[in-house]
Chain A
Amino acid sequence: MKYNRTIPSLALAGALAVASVGSAVGQDDEQVTLQYWAWFPPLPTTEKMIEAFEAANPNIDVEINVLESTVYQDKLPLSLAAGDALDLVAVQTGAMVDQVKVDLQPLEPLLEEYVGADWADAYAAKAVDQAKQLADDGELYILPVGALGSVVGYYNAEMFEELGLEVPTNYEEFKAYADAVTAADPNLFPVVFSGENWFQDEILLTLIGQTSPEFFNDIRYGDGRWDDPAFIEALTTYKQMHDDGIFSLDTIGIDYGGALEIFYGGGAPILLQGTWEAGMISEPFRTENGIELAEVGLMPLPVIADGGTPSIRSFIEMGLAVPANSDNPEEAMALLEFLVFGDGVDVWAPTLSFVPARLGYELPETTLPTEVAQESFATLSQLVQNPSSDRNNVSAFSAVVGDGIIEALNGADPADVAAKLQSEWESGRYIQ
């Protein structure tokens, strides 16, 4: 019987063809695992972001490492220096950029290659400028997801209605407001905030920015001085606000969490905090996080001096970067694109921790269902996008300034405090 070789040959060729196609699919769909490090948003929100990314990119797994902020400041530089193969990391804006840039890849080439040459058309130019200025070589190493700032006021709208209060806009109204609250219930704080030293610094710099908007930028980038009359005047007024009962010296002993607890528990109609807590103006956020307040609005700090304008300091935050050691730059950039330009923004933006740097972004409609919430978000966006100065803190020195403020509140002369701060600023102890 003649053996026909055609069919087996064809079958073999077909099998080979199928196998080669199969292996090509296998290579394209090769499972990649990314190492993603960040300190913010909190783990539950970060997990949601990553789950959404993994659902859209089934061939990419992401291992998350979210650490507390001060721990992260130590851990990330050490891990990068040790050569750990991280793929996408969040970098804190400030001194950390210069500290770790040697371990990062310049981002512009990666953005052009993987996101597109026109990536900057969809991104806030100011954020790019601020990110570049953080590196002493002017390169772009981080792409911030957005911006935040401080200090703003959050008010308990229900308490305001019950007590017949109006949102104060200047010093006189602020004092009248505080008197009304104290008269209604002496146990209430008219205004509660964390009395920790770094936050005292945030409040005072916000007040200074109302009349001397360039004060902090001059200090940070120029030859501005802490013993400037603007600082002394603001510190004197800040002390007066305590003497007038607007603020209470009892806040000195209250920490960050304690202030939030007091506000959430109805112990104060107004809370002062950064815009990173703005999630509380959103009803879905409050429900999800167990904040039992009916309605929370956002307000700028009342203007405390004639001729001032409401303002805050703001700056970019959470800059995403691709370490030089990453074995998966393409996938890392896919994650970066998702978080900064893509659907990932829909996951973290409703927390309102940052105002997105992505141009033209609009929040989902369900985030801000009430008029108060919508007006508050408009105020928030306006304040963050039009800051008086950059909130580009020298962390260690913020604490020193705060300690000086507390000394003034406890009776020290503001001029002496200012002189001491200037001397300390010039001491060489702080990386500026």
Chain B
Amino acid sequence: MASGVVTGGRGRIRTALLFLLPLALFYAVFYLYSFIYVGVASFLNTDATLRNPEYVGLDNYELPLTHDRFYIAMFNTIAFALVAILAAVTIGFFLAVVLSTKMRGHQFFYAVFFLPALMPMSLVASVFAVMLASRFGTVNEILRFVGLDEFTQRWLGDPTLAWISVAMIFVYVIGLPIMYYTADLSTINISLLEAAVVDGAGPWPLFRLILFPLTSAARKTIILSILLGTFRAFEIVYLSTGGGPSGRTEIAGTYLYNFATSGVNVGYVAAASVIVLLIALAISLVNLTLQKRADARSGA
């Protein structure tokens, strides 16, 4: 009966809301309130207590937008993400395919490649910092030990080498993309590959024309998660180079943290945070739009 269906529907909605309430409260307190706090503070000259604030309009937004270090941080955030994505869709994809052939020892190699992704990023970054230290660091000490003193470098002290070192840490945590690809590969109908092999397809055509297109779903997830994850990859940079030398490896997170904790006008940091958020949103939208168009073209 109609009234019974309506009652049941209302009851289900009520139950659903009840289950959602704790999470909604958590979101309201720790996210929504934070967004509002940051948004309001971005228009004020104030400290963290928000007392005696002075309304300054858009002046705080001008400060990061006229700061070359802010642009370096944003560039690094996107650049590190692109490096990680490139590694994921090439090396990560290749490793996932090789391991999915169930070669001897594949479980061991799964563990080896996946372990970094399971470790706390703070630990990974700290260990890299110790290994790459100019004096007494593991890498340089090994080079000295084998008589290759001339190849020792200031891995974290030279701006270019420091940038490359940080990028390598982003690449090192390649386990998660491998996992995504592995999951997607497991859904591929093996008969497709068998048919291709019967038709004379070699390894490269198999990779390029069958496996790569069929794993597009995993690739979308990987690209978006790495892209947005770099905005949150604070520990990797902070605990390896601190954003140095001279801010050359700074990303959005370390830029905001360094200024937030050193007694500047909180409104300025809040404005910079809002700008970073808008940029991250824009990147997500662009990525999703491009993916939709690609799917539409391929008829997915």
Contact = CB atoms under 8 A, between A and B. Distances in A.
Nearest to A198: B262
A429 interface: yes
B47 A396 contact: no
A60 to B, nearest CB: 30
Contact of A250 (B52, B135, B258): B135
A70 B261 contact: yes
Interface string A84-99: 0000000000111001
Contacts of A249: 134, 154, 157
Contacts of A254: 133, 135
Contacts of A197: 244, 246
B246 A431 contact: no
* A: interface residue count bin: 35 or more
Interface in A381-431: 394-396, 399, 403-404, 406-407, 410, 427-431
B66 A427 contact: yes
B134 A410 contact: no
A250 B157 contact: yes
B263 A250 contact: no
B268 interface: yes
Interface residues of B, number: 33
Q: Which applies to chain B's interface (DSSP): helix, strand, loop or mixed?
A: loop
A399 B261 CA distance: 11
Contacts of B277: none
B245 interface: yes
A306 interface: no
Given A78-B48, A99-B47, A407 B157 contact: no
Given A78-B48, A410-B159, A429-B67, A403 B244 contact: yes
A37 to B, nearest CB: 16
Contacts of B154: 249-250, 252-253
B157 A427 contact: no
Interface of B: 47-49, 51-52, 59, 63, 66-67, 129, 132-135, 154-159, 242, 244-247, 258-259, 261-265, 268
Q: Which 6 A-B pairs have the closest CB atoms?
A: A396-B262, A81-B49, A250-B134, A252-B157, A403-B246, A407-B246
Given A250-B134, A399-B258, A407-B246, 19 more contacts: A74-B48, A77-B48, A81-B51, A102-B51, A187-B135, A249-B134, A252-B134, A252-B244, A254-B133, A254-B135, A396-B259, A396-B264, A403-B246, A406-B244, A406-B245, A406-B246, A427-B63, A427-B67, A428-B63
16 contacts: A77-B48, A78-B48, A94-B263, A99-B47, A196-B242, A197-B246, A252-B157, A253-B154, A253-B155, A254-B133, A394-B263, A399-B262, A403-B247, A406-B245, A410-B245, A430-B263
